């Protein structure tokens, strides 16, 4: 990869049609936005000098809310107030504009602010193809197939064939994860391109044609526990509270999501009560 270098940028806005103000909701003593920021910061630390940041690019309402609340989290000092934008990618493009070269990088990783449980390892997966527009996906849970809050990506031969909010085929469709790697030129071209009818109808920014190439995205698949779900609704916030809560392993862990939670807690060093039967632990991790 040579001397190619990028930056992580988190576009954030206060307004949300499904859950306004969600980024300032607290889970485990930290805001949703701080969870995202801290995971991105760990990715930068683990990147061996390939990444800088993270920076947060916020709309007026969120920026003012942060200042008014007197937050003392470290991400306050990395927050920029951006002009009006139609979506997060346009906010990242604003950050990337050449202001005396201060924020000029070869590529930018856009991590959506509500991806509070996105693991640093998953973010670093994007670095495998720094010269291509790249995004992430994971396997879907049974309850997500018809959930329009979960964006789906149809993956064929390692590339995205389509994005939609409803799907029907487990063999092709996976859950899209809100993280993108943009080569600088493509990102700036995106911001200069008007959204098309399909992008506006589906409210999916990744459908915009750039250079005449629709849905030209390489897709890397990550394990479920590295990107379990984004915080789209109040119900997701409650799920996250359960996700980060220490597990009581005296009760049998059965569902795929609970197994993923177990792996997540083991990876992150969270407190887990003793397991009476060693075979129980072994069976849960299969």
Q: Which two tokens stand for residue 63?
A: 């920026």
Cβ-count burial of 114 within 10 angstroms (0-12 exposed, 13-18 middle, 19+ buried)?
buried
- Burial-class residue 286 by CB neighbours within 10 Å (0-12, 13-18, 19+): exposed
| C-alpha dihedral, 110 to 116 to 120 to 125, nearest 10° | -50
Give the Cα-Cα-Cα angle 161, 162, 168 (nearest 5 degrees): 110
Q: What's the confidence (pLDDT) of residue 274?
A: 40
Neighbours of 112 (CB within 10 A): 19
Q: What's residue 84's pLDDT? A: 75
pLDDT at 191: 84
pLDDT at 116: 95
Rounded Cα distance between 107 and 45, Å, is 17
Give the global pTM: 0.85
In this prediction, residue 181 carries a pLDDT of 95
Give the pLDDT of residue 211: 62
At 182 the pLDDT is 93
What pLDDT shows up at residue 7? Answer: 95
Mean pLDDT for each consecutive 10-residue tract of the chain (286 residues)?
A: 83 82 90 92 96 88 67 60 79 82 88 95 94 92 84 89 74 88 91 76 72 74 92 94 77 69 75 44 45
Q: How would DSSP label each residue in the chain?
A: -TT--EEEEEEE-S--SSSTTGGG-EETTEEHHHHHHHHHHHHHHHTTTSEEEEEEEE-HHHHHHHHHTT--SGGGGGEEEPPP-SSHHHHHHHHHS-STTTT--SEEEEE-TT-TT--HHHHHHGGGSTTS-EEEEEPPPGGGTT-TTS-EEEEETTEEEEEES----TTTEEEEEEEEEEEHHHHHHHHTSPP-HHHHHHT-GGG--BTTBTT--EEEE--GGGS-----SHHHHHHHHHHHSPP-TTSPP-SHHHHHHHHHHHHHT---PPPS-HHHHHHHT-
Q: According to the model, what pLDDT value does residue 1 have? A: 46
pLDDT score at 115: 96
pLDDT for 76: 53
Q: What domains are there in the chain, each with its CATH number?
A: 6-230 (3.90.550.10), 246-284 (no CATH)
CA gap 137, 139 in Å, rounded: 7
Residue 208's φ and ψ, nearest 5 degrees, are -65, 135
């Amino acid at each position: 990869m040579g001397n190619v270098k990028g930056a992580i940028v988190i576009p954030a806005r206060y307004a949300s049609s499904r859950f306004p103000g969600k980024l300032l909701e607290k889970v485990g003593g930290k805001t949703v936005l701080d969870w995202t920021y801290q995971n991105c910061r760990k990715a930068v630390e683990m990147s061996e000098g390939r990444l800088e940041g993270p920076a947060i690019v916020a709309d007026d309402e969120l920026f003012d809310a942060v200042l008014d609340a007197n937050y003392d989290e470290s991400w306050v000092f990395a927050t920029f107030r951006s002009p009006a934008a139609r979506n997060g990618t346009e906010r990242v493009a604003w950050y990337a504009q050449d202001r005396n070269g201060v924020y000029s990088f070869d590529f930018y990783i856009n991590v959506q602010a509500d991806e509070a449980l996105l693991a640093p390892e998953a973010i670093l997966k994007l670095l495998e193809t720094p010269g291509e527009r790249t995004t992430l996906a994971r396997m879907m849970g049974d309850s997500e197939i018809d959930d329009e809050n979960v964006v789906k990506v149809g993956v064929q031969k390692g590339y995205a064939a389509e994005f939609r909010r409803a799907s029907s085929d487990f063999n092709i469709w996976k859950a899209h994860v809100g993280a993108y790697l943009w080569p600088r030129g493509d990102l700036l071209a995106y911001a200069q391109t008007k959204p098309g009818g399909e992008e506006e109808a589906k409210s999916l920014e990744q459908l915009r044609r750039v250079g005449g190439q629709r849905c030209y995205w390489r897709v890397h698949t990550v394990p479920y526990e590295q990107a379990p779900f984004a915080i789209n609704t109040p119900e997701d916030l409650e799920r996250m509270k359960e996700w980060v809560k220490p597990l009581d392993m005296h009760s049998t862990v059965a569902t795929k999501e609970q197994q993923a939670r177990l792996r997540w807690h083991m990876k992150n060093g969270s407190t887990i009560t003793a397991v009476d039967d060693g075979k129980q632990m072994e069976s849960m991790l299969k």
